[in-house]
Amino acid sequence: MTGRHDAETTDTRAGTGGADAPHRHAAEHLAPRGGVRLAGVRKTYGAGDNVVHALDGVDLELPAGSFTVVLGPSGSGKTTMLNVVGGIEQATAGTVEVAGQDISGRSPVDLAGFRREHVGFVFQFFNLVPTLTARENVEIIVELTGVGQAKRAPELLAQVGLAERADHFPAQLSGGQQQRVAIARALATDPDLLLADEPTGALDLTTGRQILGVLLDLNRAGRTVVVVTHNASVAQIADTVVTVVDGKIRSVEHQESPADAEAVSW
Ligand SMILES: Nc1ncnc2c1ncn2[C@@H]1O[C@H](COP(=O)(O)OP(=O)(O)OP(=O)(O)O)[C@@H](O)[C@H]1O
């Protein structure tokens, strides 16, 4: 595994630039955290003739501090795997360990508690509250979950390069800026693990690279990051590339020297 999380490493992989570039030194440096272990994981939807084996016996280990990209065709089970890891969905069978906790078989209420404490989610279409400013979109997560500190919202927005836009509403922000707000929101509870489902899917190349750069920064600070995407080019930046086909792990590749976000193209 690469040592991208090493706080001593000189960072030459800046994936961002311009006036809104993240304040790189504002990022905290943490011990690697948020590792994942799946063993014999199955997720089945429906029954009888309509049964779908979305995950069909998945074994996977992602060390704390790793940056994983999950690839696979449409319907292969990528989102389901992300949701099982993040405690949005309960596995039908198997063991799911995340951030040192076994969450297999936990009730929906327990899983909600686990998510609040350990996981940050980033989605393709940002999912911001349109009537709240950038800062309020971050603060509301602290209010809703009771985890984290609302007063950190400006600091988190600065960390993703949006210090100057804290009082803007989503409609006043570009797609990439909205995605940065969404990332700051995901950080509000100080998660061990960041799970991103097609985080660049709605963005142009330049903006998408900036978002990947932000995710790399957060990974270097110690967080485990998992990105699900159709875009094979994004896999260049990962230290671990997982390919899922028909609910099964087709391959797990480790990359010694991942590229920086500038290398990604689509
Ligand atoms: N809530 C659900 N009820 C029934 N079937 C589901 C449900 N969620 C997912 N599936 C099915 O499980 C399989 C895996 O879906 P999943 O969304 O994980 O795939 P994916 O690889 O993320 O696809 P895409 O790249 O198109 O988003 C698909 O056949 C899908 O139709």
Q: Which atom of ligand 1 is nearest to the CA of 247?
A: 14
Question: Residue 158: its pLDDT value, please?
Answer: 93
Q: What is the pLDDT of residue 21?
A: 41
Position 94 scores a pLDDT of 98
Summarised one tens digit per residue, pLDDT across range 77-130 is: 999 999 999 999 999 999 999 999 999 989 999 999 999 999 999 999 999 999
Residue 113 neighbours by CB distance under 10 Å = 15
C-alpha 257 chain-centroid distance: 21
pLDDT score, position 31: 85
83 Cβ inside 6 Å of ligand 1: no
Task: Write out pLDDT tens, residues 136-155.
Answer: 999 999 999 999 889 999 99
Report whether residue 74 contacts ligand 1, using a CB cutoff of 6 Å.
yes
Q: Show the DSSP H helices in 160-239 as ranges.
A: 175-187, 205-220
ipTM of the complex: 0.98
Residue nearest (by alpha carbon) to ligand 1 atom 26:
74
229 lines ligand 1 (CB under 6 A): no
- Give nearest CA residue, ligand 1 atom 12: 54
Q: From CA 42, how far away is CA 55, in angstroms rounded?
A: 5
pLDDT of residue 17: 38
Q: In the chain, which stretches have pLDDT less than 70?
A: 1-29
Stretch (H or E) spanning 121: strand 119-122
